[in-house]
Structure 1
């Protein structure tokens, strides 16, 4: 598994809301400024599904990032599985002055693991920036 993490200077309720609400997901879910997420849906419950459309801003590329939740514990843990069987687990831990988010995921086999870690870390960094600017 690959791990990325960050500390967000906000309350657990605010972090959870921004992580799980489609109106927020579309504002932070990108790894670079030339990509964005024009669409997101989220059925946040064990057995629920989510979909985020990630697209290049120039319109030349896009893909849907989808999964099914295997565990949702509000303000604590999210686990999901992607269609190819890869698993992701995210923990939210209240710490002094904020929340620590640790995200672990099974790598895919096309891109180098370092590239995958950098991309997921960039998205998590954008999440931190989004929440702390609210």
Structure 2
């Protein structure tokens, strides 16, 4: 019998974007846009992506790493206030093993020259999963990608 355990932590990340608030918010809300930046590892093979961004909606994303491990993300949107905030709960799995469950809140505010985004994730790592900072690192990489996406020159060809 495996030992059951929970390890709680909170991750807070504040980012500033040189882009209008609506552009940053929509990068989360519009499936075609989110697919372009929501990844933390180049070279991983996309398997499934679905986004229904609304209160009561859901999201799923499955990718395979180079070694064939399937990383699965499944979210449910609890509260969505256009251009202000959204709150969602999600779990992460490696193959068939649930490694964490989280509640995340993202707040947006206009500021001179762009948008301030504040991300807070309350996460519980399950049954001895040793994160060793990889969640924070992966989230930071994703937000780096978001910055590149929203600050890109729309007139420049991709």
Range class of TM-score, shorter chain: 0.7 to 0.9
Query: Structure 1 pair 59/47, CA: closer, same or farther in 2 (3 Å)?
Result: same
Correspondence for 1:98: 114
2:57 is equivalent to residue 48 of structure 1: yes
TM-score by length of 1: 0.85
2:70 is equivalent to residue 62 of structure 1: yes
| Unpaired segments ≥5 residues, structure 1 | none
Correspondence for 1:11: 20
More off after superposition, 79-88 vs 89-98: 79-88
Contact 1:6–1:125 (8 Å) recurs in 2: no
Displacement of 1:69 after TM fit? 1.0
TM-score by length of 2: 0.73
Displacement of 1:37 after TM fit? 4.7
Displacement of 1:65 after TM fit? 1.1
| Unpaired segments ≥5 residues, structure 2 | 1-9, 92-99
Query: Structure 1 pair 63/114, CA: closer, same or farther in 2 (3 Å)?
Result: closer
2:135 is equivalent to residue 116 of structure 1: yes
Show CA shifts across 1:4-54 (max 9, x none): 221111111111211111111111111132336564322222111111223
Per residue, is there more helix in 1 or in 2? 1
Between the two proteins, the alignment pairs up a number of residues equal to 133
Contact 1:10–1:99 (8 Å) recurs in 2: yes
Indicate the structure (1 or 2) with the bigger Cα radius of gyration: 2
Correspondence for 2:86: 78
Correspondence for 2:7: none
Give RMSD over aligned pairs: 2.1
